[in-house]
Chains A and B, each alone.
Chain A
Amino acid sequence: MCLAIPAKIETIEGNKAEVDIRGLKRSIGLHMMPDAKVGEFVLIHAGFAIQRIDPKEAEETYRLLEETGITIT
């Protein structure tokens, strides 16, 4: 039930935004993220943006995973 999917904000009008979810366009509520901006990535749950997704953190996490050492010290 707590599934949330990433989407990109394309336009904002009041507390509603049009987002792009892998090509699918949808209108969502920005009630919880009044300071969200066009171009930002957000997590969508039940028709609302609930949190930002930080692409830099995503890159950084992946980079660290890629560099995982197998040797245990």
Chain B
Amino acid sequence: MINLDKFRDPVVAAKLVKRIEGLCDGPYSFMEVCGSHTMAISQFGIRGLIPRSIKLLSGPGCPVCVTSLYDIDRMIALAGLKDVIFTTFGDMIRVPGSHSSLREAKSQGADVRILYSPLDALQIAAENPGKQVVFAGVGFETTSPTIIATVLEAKEKGLENFSVYPAFKTVPHALKAILESGRTKIDGFLCPGHVSAIIGSAPYQFIPAEYQIPCVIAGFEPLDILESIVMLLEQLRSHKKEGLAFSVQTEYRRGVPDAGNPNALAMLDKVTEPCTAEWRAIGSIPETGLCFREKYVSFDAAKRFEVDVPPAIEPQGCICGQVMMGLHQPDECPMFGKKCTPESPVGPCMVSSEGACAAWYKYGTEN
């Protein structure tokens, strides 16, 4: 087995921290756009290791957090339909909708099942020919190909009682929307390692080219994150000293070839096309959703089932959206750790295990 434990070596980490201290020549804000990075940064106490002048912001990297309340409400309504078996990854089950959650729906009798892999939904569909099996299509480019591969397999097997509620999101244009909003000062992006394992490095090129901001595709171990911060600081330094242009670099080379995974991308392109998506608390962003192409529209649960859902009601006082835009840190919310905790979450950033608020709550605000 590959020994990845050494990517947690404290001696090397101490060297990288020293290098960060030496390179850091100003207040900088770096944004990570991956829930797994958010968790790793908090879990390994990265904030406490690096100079205070480097602020690490959590961007919209948690797919559950950015799923619109409109979509959540509709998924809960779908789950409540007679003869529907609603299947989902575990993260979605506790997210409160306007009036209920999938977990509540389940406790009231809806058939809601948590799956590890969307492929498992096909087994359920085959065993329950009289029922409709719907999968919650939530996720970024890491996850969407796994669901789309499942759709293709369902088609091949002729399983007509399987469909997907499409709430997919794609990352690069969301970063563009954050930059275009002009509200957040960002000096560098830590780009998501496993999204990039699929899409490669090219889709981020517009960030250094058009916005003059360095990008580093980062891995998930503490040394990966520290080294990625070093790389961002080195780019900033050589830009300042020698006028070198910013670029997209890959620190996570062991898992991210420049071209990503062309098979996965071809599969996504075969079944879906980019469309406008509604991001929770951020709004509607063109080209950041994936909608079923005409040929596969029969797999679209949003079109297959009619549900009547009243307008969504956002939780009062929750600043999750501003946290995901990098405008506030979780502990700046008056409800953080008081009215809003993982046991009794008000907003999605506290519900999802990899939401920024949940990470700060679990590992402490100093980390």
How many chain A residues touch B (CB < 8 A): the figure is 38
Known: A51-B256, A61-B253, A61-B254. Is A2-B143 also a contact (CB below 8 A)?
A: yes
Known: A33-B261, A66-B12. Is A2-B22 also a contact (CB below 8 A)?
A: no
- Chain B residue with Cβ nearest A50: B197
Q: Which of B188-233 contact A (CB under 8 A)?
A: 192-195, 197-198, 220, 223, 227, 230
Inter-chain contacts of A61 with B (CB < 8 A): 227, 251, 253-254
Q: Which of A1-49 contact B (CB under 8 A)?
A: 1-4, 6, 8, 20, 22, 28-29, 31-34, 41, 43, 45-48
- Chain B residue with Cβ nearest A35: B263
Contact B16 A68 (CB under 8 A): yes
Give, as a whole number of angstroms, the nearest-CB distance from A30 to chain B.
10
Interface string of B123-161 (1 = CB under 8 A from A): 000000000000000111011011101001100000000
Known: A1-B62, A1-B140, A33-B263. Is A50-B146 also a contact (CB below 8 A)?
A: yes
Give, as a whole number of angstroms, the nearest-CB distance from A68 to chain B.
5
Question: How distant is the Cα of A52 from the Cα of B139 in the complex, in angstroms?
Answer: 21
Most buried by B among A8, A45, A51, A53: A51
Most buried by B among A57, A62, A69: A62
Question: How distant is the Cα of A17 from the Cα of B354 in the complex, in angstroms?
Answer: 29
Give, as a whole number of angstroms, the nearest-CB distance from A73 to chain B.
10
Give, as a whole number of angstroms, the nearest-CB distance from B263 to chain A.
5
- Chain B residue with Cβ nearest A23: B1
Which of A48, A57, A60, A68 is the one whose CB lies under 8 Å from B117? A48
Inter-chain contacts of B91 with A (CB < 8 A): 1
- Say yes or no for B18: interface residue by CB 8 A criterion: yes
Contact A1 B35 (CB under 8 A): yes
Question: How distant is the Cα of A53 from the Cα of B1 in the complex, in angstroms?
Answer: 11
Report 16 cross-chain contacts, Cβ distance below 8 Å, ordered by A residue. A2-B61, A2-B142, A29-B149, A31-B153, A31-B263, A32-B146, A45-B143, A46-B143, A50-B146, A51-B261, A54-B253, A61-B253, A62-B7, A62-B12, A65-B227, A71-B22
Given contacts A2-B61, A46-B118, A51-B261, 19 further A-B contacts (CB under 8 A): A1-B89, A1-B139, A2-B143, A4-B142, A4-B194, A29-B119, A29-B149, A31-B149, A32-B267, A45-B146, A48-B119, A48-B146, A50-B261, A51-B257, A52-B255, A53-B254, A54-B254, A65-B223, A70-B19
